[in-house]
Amino acid sequence: MSTERVNPPGLCPPAGFSHAVVASGSRLLFLAGQTALDADGEVVGDTLPEQFERALANLLTALRAAGGTPADLARVTVYTTDVAAYRAHARELGRTWRALAGRDYPAMAVVQIVRLWDERATVELDGFAVLP
């Protein structure tokens, strides 16, 4: 398997994501959206950074259970109910990402939606990985 991150000069330099990820591998991993649910289905955390950390940890739990590592993540979509808060906490969210998932950033999109499955959930992450 090989994974290449592509960030061409014509685009705004990316911070915390890659503009494109090319991956060749024999297996494709599809990850369901994860919010900050604990194992009993309760939302953990009141603030966006707390929920982000748990949601990302959940995504990585699914990734690892399927045999992948964070460097295999090729695409992540972030659905949040509050992009303004996400931006206000961007440094902290970046630290959390690097602590849990490292610096091999996937291609990403962040969009503000109306609500998630749980009314208390403020952020959900889903993704794709390519496994060796």
* Dist CA 96 CA 4 (whole Å): 23
The residue (of 91 and 115) whose beta carbon lies closer to a copy of itself is 115
Applying CB under 8 A, which of residues 63, 93, 101, 123 lies at the interface with a copy of itself?
A: 63
* Dist CA 57 CA 64 (whole Å): 10
Counting contacts by CB under 8 A, is residue 103 touching a copy of itself?
no
What residue type is 101 in one-letter code? A
Counting contacts by CB under 8 A, is residue 123 touching a copy of itself?
no
Instruction: Give residue 19's region: left, alpha or beta (phi > 0; psi -120 to 50).
Output: alpha
Interface segment toward a copy of itself; rule CB under 8 A; list 31-39, 45-53, 96-104: 31-39
Q: Considering CB under 8 A, how many residues would be counted as binding a copy of itself? A: 63
